């Protein structure tokens, strides 16, 4: 029994993806650099971490780059997912 070789499909990056990623990255930038009253901002995390004991404070400081990376790449993936769904909806609506 012969199996078909795995063929990678190219991902097409269109204008909708560009708009979606730029929108979610702007939202991510707003969340990260928000004031001390927004619970997801870096300022809020640092002000709350000041009241922790010594080793926990260092742990929070050490994990902030990981938090930033997860937030940026997570929102970018969310933008790609949403733009793909919108593209499918538009394609269905135009082929009726």
pLDDT in tens, 16-33: 888 888 898 899 999 888
Place of tokens 């990376």: 69
CB-based contact 31:71 (threshold 8 Å): yes
* pTM for the predicted model, two decimal places: 0.72
In three-state form (DSSP H/G/I as H, E/B as E, the rest C), the secondary structure along the chain is CCCCCCCCCCCCCCHHHHHHHHHHHHHHHHHHCCCCCCCCCHHHHHHHHCCCCHHHHHHHHHHHHHHHHHHHHHHHHHHHHHHHHHHHHHHHHHCC
Over the chain, what is the mean pLDDT? 85
pLDDT in tens, 42-59: 989 888 888 989 899 999
Residue 84's pLDDT band, with cuts at 50, 70 and 90, is confident
């Amino acid at each position: 029994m012969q199996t078909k070789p795995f063929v990678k499909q190219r991902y097409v990056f269109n204008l909708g993806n560009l708009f979606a990623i730029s929108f979610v990255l702007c939202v991510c930038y707003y969340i990260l650099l928000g004031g001390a009253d927004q619970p997801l901002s870096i300022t809020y995390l640092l002000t709350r971490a000041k009241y922790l004991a010594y080793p926990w404070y260092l742990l929070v400081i050490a994990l902030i780059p990981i938090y930033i990376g997860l937030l940026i790449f997570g929102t970018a993936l969310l933008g790609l997912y949403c733009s793909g769904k919108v593209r499918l909806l538009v394609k269905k609506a135009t082929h009726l």
